[in-house]
Structures are given as structure tokens and as C-alpha cells.
Structure 1
Amino acid sequence: MKKRNLLVVLAIVVLAGFAIYQNFTAKDRQASSHKEAAPKPNYMAPGFKLTALDGNVYEVGGTREKPLLVNFWASWCGPCELEAPDLKKLYDVYQDRIDFYAVNMTSSDRMDNIKSFVKHFDFKFPILLDSEGRVGELYRVSGIPMTYLVDKNGVIKEGFSILHPDELEKRIKQLIES
């Protein structure tokens, strides 16, 4: 009888230990999957600080005075070149109502090409330099251009690769009005 009670207690302890182990590993898997997920609409924009071509440090994350357009690009990217005149035009029209940050994927670009691209397209908005590729990794950028629209509360409203200029302007207007 004592052996049987001992076996029952031992089985309960083993099962309880297994349940606790399963609970902790499930939480770890869940936490790591959140780290690996790309930024999503209705979630806070991952925060970062980067130095720009103008020497100033710019920050993303948390509340802001104006909504924000964050565009990931590189000088060697053909679609980025096609999109550049539209970004410049929209910035010229809406700069007092929305911030534009162009995050250059500097770890895969050359500084002289970046400066030439910016001068050629007459970009007046901040050109942030992701020289170590950390922000690109944080945002899980796998193709460029990649753009995120972020509201004044720091919440991502949407992310997309490239849009027709009229559609991009429509979405910027919606963001400003929200």
C-alpha cells in the first residue's frame, strides 16, 4: 500500500513538473515569435533613433506632434528611384501636417551614392542612415521600398511596398485626418 501511494505521489510530481515546464517553454516561444514578427497595423511602431545626413538624430516610437511616414530605401533600388519623385512631391504638399523619414539601408549602400540620389531628387526631408542594418532588421524589411504610416500616437496604421501616387496621397490624407 505504501509503495502504491509513493508511486501515485511520484506520478503527480512528475506530471506537475512537466506541466510547469510546458507552460514556461510556451511563454518563451510566444515571446520570441513576437520579437520576430514584422510591425503590424494597430500595433505600436518599434522605436529607434538614427542619425541623419544632416547630422541630427531622429526618433521613432511613442507619441508625436504629427503623423509619420517612414520609408525604407536604397540608392541602387530601381523601384525606390521610381517612387522618389512622388515622395518629394507629397512632402512638398504635406510637410506641415506629416513628417517624412527616409531610412536609407546604408549597410548595403554607399555614402556617395546616397548623397547623389538625395541631391538628384531634391529630398528636403530627413535621410536617416541605418548604417548597421539594425532598424531594417527591427522592421523586418525584406524588400524595398517599404513604407509605414504611423499615427500621432505612435501606432502603425499600415505598411506597404509601393503604391500609385494617387493612392499614396489618399492614404496620407486619411492618416492626417485620423
Structure 2
Amino acid sequence: MKIANRRNLIIAVIALIAASVTLSQHLGKKNETALQQNEGLPAARETLPALGMALPTESGPKVGLLAPSFTIQGEDGTAYAVGGARNKAVLLNFWASWCDPCQKEAPELNKIAEKYKGTLDIYGINVTSYDYKANAQRFVKKYNLAFPVMFDLKGEAYAKYNGTVFPTNVLIDRNGVVAEIILGGLTAEQMDEKLKKLVQQ
């Protein structure tokens, strides 16, 4: 009877030890998994809010792609560059002096330049290959344009954006991504609504 009790006691102790080891291993794996998951959280928090989504790597004249880059000299002698991240959003305004919607838009662009001067750069680009420079210069004086004006003598910058219409307004966010390409004129209210969204991105 004593031998049987001793044997049962040994079996019970062995079973208890085995159960304890199994439980310990299970809890260890669970804690390790939880630790790995928790270690992954800070990285996700840093990445997702900062970017929202991955930036594109391809450039082109299309919404969601990086804006095609170019540098062009303004009438003030400054070289203006487009392409890549910057402190302000950009509005590229491709225009011609003979274009009626461009003439109607010019005073509104002056108001926009003043209203958004802290958050938006406006580049007025005369596509001189479709115009006469002398007429374009008269246009600038007539409307007293309050933002940098440059002359795209060979239409190279315009071609980068597949330009076909005047005016063509290209909205580019601070990450250098094309947010919208607007063909033809808009009302002041429509343009203002689009720019509010642009500068908030």
C-alpha cells in the first residue's frame, strides 16, 4: 500500500512539473509575441501619421505623381525651380496674352497671391512659343502681376505638363506631388476652394 502511494505521489509530482513547464513555455511565447507586436507599434505610429501614404517615386503630368521638374529664369533674374519637397505648395499658371480666360484670371491670381502668400507660391509662366514676348510683357504691366513671371521661350516647361489649353493651372503640394491639373479658367470661388485644400495637405 505504501509503495502504491509513493508511486502515485511520484507520478503526481512528475505530472505537476510537466504541466508547470508546459504552462511556462506557453506564457513565454505569448509574452514574446506581445513584445514583438508592441515593438512594432511605435514604428507604425511614426510612419503612418507622418506620411499618410507612401510618396510616389515616378514623376509625370498626372495627379498623384511627382511633378516634373524644371528650372526657369524669371523676369526679375531669379531662377525658379519646380520639383521635390518644399516649404510651400505651388500653383503653376501657364498662360498666353491673347487668351481671354487668362485675362479674366489675372486679377484673381493677384488676390490669391496676397491671400496665400504664407503658404503658396504662384509662378506665372508665359508660354512664349505660343505667344509674342512683347505682348506678354504688356500683359504683365497691364495687370500688374504680383507674383513671379517667367517666359517659357521654347515651351519646354509647358510640354513637361502635356500642355494643350490656356490657361493650364497645375497644383503641386509641399511634397512635390501633383494634386490637380486644371484645364481652362475657373471662377474665383472654385479656385479658392481648391487652394484651401491644397495648402492644408
TM superposition score normalised by structure 2: 0.68
Is residue 41 from structure 1 mapped to residue 78 from structure 2 by the alignment? Answer: no
Note the 1:1-178 alignment, pairs <5 A. 39-161=61-183, 162-178=185-201
What fraction of aligned residue pairs are identical, expressed as a percent? 38
Number of equivalences: 143
SS at match of 1:39: coil
Using CA pairs under 8 Å that are at least 6 residues apart, name the structure with larger relative contact order, 1 or 2. 1
Supply the AA of the counterpart residue of 1:151. D
Mapped partners of 1:146, 1:61: distance in 2: 18
Please report the RMSD computed on the Cα atoms of aligned residues, expressed in angstroms: 1.5
SS at match of 1:79: helix
Mapped partners of 1:57, 1:91: distance in 2: 19
Single out whichever of 107-116 and 130-139 deviates more from structure 2.
Answer: 107-116
For structure 1, list consecutive stretches of 5 or more residues without a partner in the other structure: 1-33
TM superposition score normalised by structure 1: 0.76
Single out whichever of 91-100 and 147-156 deviates more from structure 2.
Answer: 91-100
Rg larger in structure: 2
Supply the AA of the counterpart residue of 2:134. D
Mapped partners of 2:132, 2:156: distance in 1: 17
Mapped partners of 1:144, 1:78: distance in 2: 9
